[in-house]
Structure 1
């Protein structure tokens, strides 16, 4: 592990093997996922998101395989708010020493969406996940384009229902650093039960701000950053894990437990994934 300076720990949530995989023309093999997961675990990444087993059945088998090899990091699987997807993640995580269900719910209200229905959906899905797993993360999909009052209510509901990590994504990479800082700060200041959960952020790089938004969100109070090796991800990609870790390492107020000596090996392995694509 890296030397730890004084300050607050920022957890690193790696989504290379879930969100990053979406950028590839061909799905990764189980061997590729296991090999990168082992490196991420040795690196000191806190959470490794493996896949979306409720949609891609092969991801369930890969979560099981990775769970047999990873001993330190929390293994995470993604789910929508659909009960059958939540159950699929729970089953896939059954051999993980530490497992997490990551549920996402769209929070941008439209003419065809009633606020009460979304709140009920959040309450029911998070409560169901807690029946299977004590570590539940809820993600407010498209948070940066949602109504702030409704977003705060949704976050409050998720925490009351048992979520212990709340992810605020810039799903389409539309927010500036100033806007994203204010959004995270607003949630922390206005959600009455926010101290019962940790705030995570997940930034896409469509406007080139994924790393800047992630780092500034920590200043606003976020405790976890979701990122990927080489910034691999859909469209313009995710926040680059190495850049995140290096930026935090330069601060005296925060630290991660990522051992930077593993960054090159992880980057080279992900580059090999890309070579296969060509």
Structure 2
């Protein structure tokens, strides 16, 4: 995918990662209201839940898949085939659906045999997802603490297996902007087929750098940012949707195609649902 294209794809995970916020749970009715508002804003990808792990999420993804028309509906799965099949089933009625699967790439420098086993798992899981959906995102879980050479090999394998988006998360929110940018730059320089996929980032806010790291990654070639309304998410949360949008609009170098007038409405709705401002 062209690094020169300046449109940034927005991926919202309010309803999936946001439910990892302590004390936060959303029901189907609430998720439908959030999803419809996200689509009205113009959010490209809406991650609704984790269908293979939670029965309620399966129902929510399936229901919302039938309601939305312009946004892509996404569900999360590990490399477990049953989880991937659950997402495929949940999004089967979506006009536009995505399977988002992940494998941990932080192997703590174990043996080469373990490396090969994980690469095989990546190939199998991405290939299986691609059998059911043309839009497959693969995430390198714990990428910032992994061996960089193995990370690059994992990404190459995922793309060769059919992944159309590659996500490089700062899963524990421990990287500085300089460290994160260096890692992203290394990926673009060393993964030979990186131009065949859109590269995404998913930054957590443990050091208060989720938005800064996400925006810095754009200059390295990233074209998708994963975020959440009000910065909801595990531990200290994710990159805040409104802050990401405003930073992109202020950058003059990149663009997003959203209705900014509705973002505050979404923030208020999610605050009301979750009790978190």
TM-score, length of structure 2 as denominator length: 0.95
Q: State the match for 2:190 in structure 1.
A: 190
Q: State the match for 1:175 in structure 2.
A: 175
Compared CA separation, residues 159 and 262, structure 1 to 2 (3 A): same
Name the CA distance, whole Å, in 2 between partners of 1:124 and 1:7. 31
Shift of 1:204: 0.1
TM-score, length of structure 1 as denominator length: 0.95
Shift of 1:58: 1.0
Q: State the match for 2:164 in structure 1.
A: 164
Shift of 1:21: 1.3
Q: State the match for 1:38 in structure 2.
A: 36
Residue 139 of structure 1 aligns to a residue in which SS? strand
Q: State the match for 2:6 in structure 1.
A: 8
Deviation track 1:139-188 (CA, whole Å, cap 9, x = no partner) reads 00000000000000000000000000000000000000000111111101
1:94 aligns with 2:95: no
Once the two structures are superposed, the pairs formed by residues 29-108 of structure 1 within 5 Å of their partners are 29-108=27-106
Shift of 1:251: 1.9
List runs of 5+ in structure 1 lacking aligned partners: 1-5
List runs of 5+ in structure 2 lacking aligned partners: none
Compared CA separation, residues 264 and 137, structure 1 to 2 (3 A): same
1:224 aligns with 2:218: no
Deviation track 1:33-82 (CA, whole Å, cap 9, x = no partner) reads 00000000000000000000100011111112111221111000000000
Shift of 1:111: 6.3
Deviation track 1:56-115 (CA, whole Å, cap 9, x = no partner) reads 011111112111221111000000000000000000001110000000100001366710
Name the CA distance, whole Å, in 2 between partners of 1:256 and 1:184. 21
Residue 218 of structure 2 aligns to a residue in which SS? helix
Q: Which moved more, 1:201-210 or 1:266-275?
A: 266-275
Q: State the match for 2:199 in structure 1.
A: 199
Q: State the match for 1:23 in structure 2.
A: 21
Q: State the match for 2:235 in structure 1.
A: 235
Name the CA distance, whole Å, in 2 between partners of 1:112 and 1:38. 45
Name the CA distance, whole Å, in 1 between partners of 2:270 and 2:143. 29
Deviation track 1:197-240 (CA, whole Å, cap 9, x = no partner) reads 01000000001100000000011110100000000011000000
Q: How many residues align?
A: 272
Give me the CA root mean square deviation: 1.5
